Amino acid sequence: MPKIGLVNINKKYEGLHLLKNVNLEIPNNTLFVILGPPRSGKTALGRILAGLELPDSGSIFFDDEDVTYKGPNQRNVSLVFQDFALYPHLTAYDNIASSLLKSRLTKEEIRKRVKEFAEYLKIDHRLTHYPSELSGGEKQRVAIARALVRGAQIIILDEPFVRLDYKVREDMRAQLYRLHRDLGVTVIILSSDHMDAMAFPDNIAFMLEGEIIQVGNLDAMYEKPTNLSIAKYLGLVEMNVFPAKSILDLKGTEIPRSLSMLDGTMLIGFRPEHVTLHYENTLKPDKIILAGKVKITEIVGSETIVHLDAGLPEPVRVLISMIVRKTPGEAVRVEVDVKDIYVFDAKGKFVGRGGDLIGGDIAR
């Protein structure tokens, strides 16, 4: 399985600078997620990797062989399109077999190989149907089978779950994981859904406006995001972010001493799951305590999100990991541990976590 190396990839399209000097290393046999908001250049990168498009500059290495100008099939890479791109005039069987007809395999070998992959992806019972008769999940499995049957070592999936039902996504994510583990194929997922990052947390690259701004596993990104947009993007519920000044000037709330020496223009962020209900007796030194009235409560699965109006520019979002009924207008006090907070500079660049603050590394 080749180790993929992308060196200074640049791509412009009609004046839009799609990819700005992208450098990325994807170790072999990994399940890699390229995460980022829509239109951040993920698809362009996927197409260049697959060989459908040439980069304006920069080169691509498989192990250390330069494949930049090699066609898709010499690279043994396959791309599963967002709309699955199944051939409407062929049955599922012929769709999967289409990539093998070019190889020297006999008809019998092709039949065996297609059957094997179809059974593996649990669509062998639908092989005689035409794409128009298949459900979303089935179409995708046919598209994946078509990509794999050819023996492609790397398969790239462009927004694989966007068109699928909520429930089918969960099942397809498990399928992809099983596929990667059993077949030892490098799977690259281009996605804008943070749930995909959660499902495959080990290798993630976060892309924003054509640049890769952080690579690592989910925990690293979760704990130490390089900038504000990653911090806001990752998380079941979006992170609360306020200018430091607005928190420092809050009346009626105790502000821990360690926070007070922060520069006013900095931004303080804290995740809704780090906010807990405050009980009078537990007075700990390094805790921001906020008092406010409940605006609305939302129940998500088995968690509850409470939107709190605490005199800050925006309502504070609090995530409680059990179903709690809070009536709008009810007064509530919540606390955030200083070591859990995130500090960003005015431009949104990550400065440090609460813990570093207490250690005094962040100067005034």
143 or 268: CB nearest another protein: 143
The site for another protein, by CB under 8 A, has a size of 61
Check binding of 83 to another protein (CB under 8 A).
yes
Tell me which of 8, 25, 52, 133 binds another protein, using CB under 8 A. 52
CB of 263 to another protein, least distance (A): 27
Residues of this chain, 228-287, that bind another protein according to CB under 8 A? 232-233, 235-238, 271, 273
Q: Are 326 and 336 in contact (CB under 8 A)?
A: no
CB of 363 to another protein, least distance (A): 28
Check binding of 29 to another protein (CB under 8 A).
no
CB of 283 to another protein, least distance (A): 24
CB of 126 to another protein, least distance (A): 16
Scan for tokens 């999967």, then name that residue.
96
Can you give the chain as a three-state secondary structure string?
A: CCCEEEEEEEEEECCEEEEEEEEEEECCCCEEEEECCCCCCHHHHHHHHHCCCCCCEEEEEECCEECCCCCHHHHCEEEECCCCCCCCCCCHHHHHHCCCCCCCCCHHHHHHHHHHHHHHCCCHHHCCCCHHHCCHHHHHHHHHHHHHHCCCCEEEEECCCCCCCHHHHHHHHHHHHHHHHHHCCEEEEEECCHHHHHHCCCEEEEEECCEEEEEECHHHHHHCCCEHHHHHHCCCCCCEEEEHHHHHCCCCCCCCHHHHCCCCCCEEEECHHHEEECCCCCCCCCEEEEEEEEEEEEEECCEEEEEEECCCCCCEEEEECCCCCCCCCCEEEEEEEHHHCEEECCCCEEEEEHHHHHCCCCCC
Tell me which of 198, 289, 312, 358 binds another protein, using CB under 8 A. 198
Tell me which of 305, 312, 351, 358 binds another protein, using CB under 8 A. 305
50 or 121: CB nearest another protein: 50
Check binding of 78 to another protein (CB under 8 A).
yes
Check binding of 16 to another protein (CB under 8 A).
no
Check binding of 151 to another protein (CB under 8 A).
no
Check binding of 193 to another protein (CB under 8 A).
yes
Check binding of 79 to another protein (CB under 8 A).
yes
CB of 205 to another protein, least distance (A): 17
Check binding of 320 to another protein (CB under 8 A).
no
Check binding of 309 to another protein (CB under 8 A).
no
d(CA 277, CA 33): 35
Check binding of 316 to another protein (CB under 8 A).
no
User: What residue ranges bind another protein (CB under 8 A)?
Assistant: 37-38, 50, 52, 54, 72-73, 77-79, 81-83, 85-89, 98-99, 102, 135-136, 146-147, 150, 165-168, 170, 177, 192-194, 198-199, 201, 218-219, 222, 232-233, 235-238, 271, 273, 295-296, 298-302, 305, 307, 321, 323, 328
